[in-house]
Amino acid sequence: MHKIYFATGNAHKLREAKNILGEVGYEVEQLDCDYPELQADDLETISAYGARWCADKLDRDVMVDDSGIFIDALNGFPGPYSRYVEDHLGNQKVLKLMEGDTNRKAVFRTVVGFCLPGGEPHTFIGEVVGTISLEERGVHGFGYDPIFLYEGQTFGELEDVKKNRVSHRGNAMRKFAHWLESNPR
Q: For residue 114, what are the contacts with CB-CB under 8 A and spacing of at least 6? A: 51, 61, 62, 63, 64, 121, 122, 123, 124, 176, 179
CATH number assigned to the domain comprising residue 124: 3.90.950.10
Q: For the residues 149-161, what does the mean pLDDT come to?
A: 95
Q: How confident is the model at residue 82 (pLDDT cuts 50, 70, 90)?
A: very high
Q: How far apart are CA 149 and CA 75, in angstroms?
A: 18
Q: Would you name the residues annotated as active-site residues? A: 66
pLDDT in tens, 88-126: 999 999 999 999 999 999 999 999 999 999 999 999 999
- Determine the residue type at 80: P
What's the pLDDT at 41? 87
Structural domain total, the chain: 1
pLDDT in tens, 119-138: 999 999 999 999 999 999 99
DSSP character string of 42-80: SHHHHHHHHHHHHHHHHTS-EEEEEEEEEEGGGTT-EET
Q: How many helices (H) and strands (E) does the chain have?
A: 6, 8
**Global pTM?**
0.92
What's the pLDDT at 39? 84
For residue 49, give its domain range: 2-182
pLDDT in tens, 10-53: 888 999 899 888 888 889 999 978 888 788 889 999 999 999 99
